[in-house]
Amino acid sequence: MRNIIDNFFNGRSREKSMQEPDEKLEPVNGDGPGSQSEKNHDGREKSIEAKTDLQIDTFASPSEEASDIHTQETKPTKVSLEDTAVGLGKTNKQSQTRRKILQATQYSHIGNIRARNEDSTQIFTAESGGQEPLVPFGFYLLADGMGGHYAGHEASKYVARYVAKQILGRIYIPLLNTSIESNGSPPEPVREVMLDAVQHANQHIYNPQPEKGGGTTLTAALVFGRRLYLTHVGDSRAYLMVDNKLEIITDDHSYVHRLQISGQITEEEAAVHPQRNMLYRAVGQGGNLEVDTFTRTLPENGKLMLCSDGLWGLLPDDVIAHVLGQQLPLETLAEQLVSLGLKAGGHDNISTVIVEFNFSA
């Protein structure tokens, strides 16, 4: 195979030009208006244009010109094994530079102590192409289950799947039936759909008997075009990373956080408080659940991260910001965060969802 490729390139001017496109097309250092390099390129371009004019002038009629062009465009070209080898190299290079508008990953680890993983994550990113592509769409969710007879892992699993089913069924699936004129608008008000899904899930897993009760946190993010919609209950968190600045965009619904924001304890005291995991708001508590909602227009580039308290409770914000600020694959960033959480103790389940958005792609 190597001999075939070598023979394909050696001693043939056409193949040599394929090997050196950058050297011939890109100006060298010091090139600019009036430089020697510019004059050479101008002379070459003028000669090509003159030759093209001469060819067109010799055509008998426009119909003959169109006929000749059509013949040249539709004439099949035999593809050789060497073409495949070179093409693969070009394809790989192009795929490395192409950036998606939305891409996401998730990583959920049982931790160092717990017997089972009571966290649940969901990620759904839709991408379409063609003449009339759909708007960018992504749905990302993290739920951290709590104990009780109705086990935490069952509560988080049900809530995560039910809310995801409602969002996809009422927001995304209808998009597939819309025309291009209505493509940029959600088929239903997103905030109302998300709140309705959370309230139904809350009622479903509620048990009036305290000893048999259970529940879960829920942090869910929907990206529709450049608009971010967030629904939040509990002490899981959502972060935005833009221009190397980390911002927490959710509030912790815990008793300790309430003491901290009221000034009764310090941030350092809150971090080691024995009741820091006690929540005053969670999915499954019954009644008309108060749910935080949040919406904003996303900037052109950045990252969104959801995580359980098993991660943010062990890693300071500057460490999280440093990891998210690296230009590495999202899977690598998620693995680094979880590994650091395990190194810091890993006494709880550790889960994260990381989304990168690039609307300038």
Q: Based on the fold, state whether residues 241 and 298 are members of the same structural domain.
A: yes
Of 62, 97, 132, which residue sits at a domain end?
A: 97
Q: Based on the fold, state whether residues 196 and 156 are members of the same structural domain.
A: yes
Q: Indicate the helix (H) or strand (E) that contains 220.
A: strand 218-224
Domain containing 10 equals 2-97
Q: Based on the fold, state whether residues 263 and 239 are members of the same structural domain.
A: yes
Q: Based on the fold, state whether residues 205 and 291 are members of the same structural domain.
A: yes
Q: How many domains does the chain have?
A: 2
Q: Based on the fold, state whether residues 49 and 162 are members of the same structural domain.
A: no
Of 69, 97, 125, which residue sits at a domain end?
A: 97
Sign of the four-CA dihedral 264, 268, 274, 275: positive
Structure confidence at residue 133 (pLDDT) = 85
- Report the CATH number at residue 169: 3.60.40.10
Q: Based on the fold, state whether residues 166 and 314 are members of the same structural domain.
A: yes
Both tokens of 209, joined, read 């008997």
User: Residue 307 in contact with residue 142, Cβ under 8 Å?
Assistant: yes
First-to-last CA distance in the chain? 37
> Using DSSP, how many helices (H) and how many strands (E) does the chain show?
14, 11
Structure confidence at residue 147 (pLDDT) = 66
Q: Based on the fold, state whether residues 197 and 84 are members of the same structural domain.
A: no
Q: Based on the fold, state whether residues 25 and 84 are members of the same structural domain.
A: yes
Q: Which amino acid appears at position 283 of this protein?
A: V
Measure the CA–CA gap between 300 and 287, rounded to whole angstroms.
40
Question: What is the DSSP code (8-state) at residue 172?
Answer: I
Q: Based on the fold, state whether residues 246 and 158 are members of the same structural domain.
A: yes
pTM attached to this predicted model:
0.74
Q: Based on the fold, state whether residues 113 and 223 are members of the same structural domain.
A: yes
Structure confidence at residue 199 (pLDDT) = 97
Of 65, 80, 97, which residue sits at a domain end?
A: 97
Structure confidence at residue 208 (pLDDT) = 81
Question: What is the DSSP code (8-state) at residue 181?
Answer: G
Q: Which amino acid appears at position 225 of this protein?
A: G
Measure the CA–CA gap between 233 and 292, rounded to whole angstroms.
6
Structure confidence at residue 193 (pLDDT) = 98
Structure confidence at residue 190 (pLDDT) = 96
Residue 312 makes CB contacts below 8 A (sequence gap 6+) with 237, 320
- Full pLDDT tens readout for the chain, 361 residues: 444 434 433 444 333 333 333 333 333 344 444 333 333 334 333 333 333 333 333 334 444 444 444 445 556 767 666 655 555 554 554 445 567 999 999 999 999 999 999 999 999 999 888 888 889 999 999 999 986 545 789 999 999 999 999 999 999 999 888 765 566 788 899 999 999 999 999 999 998 876 777 899 999 999 999 999 999 999 999 999 999 999 999 999 999 989 988 889 888 888 888 888 899 999 998 889 999 999 999 999 999 999 999 999 999 999 999 999 999 999 999 999 999 999 999 999 999 999 999 998 6
Structure confidence at residue 47 (pLDDT) = 36
Q: Based on the fold, state whether residues 51 and 176 are members of the same structural domain.
A: no
Q: Based on the fold, state whether residues 91 and 126 are members of the same structural domain.
A: no
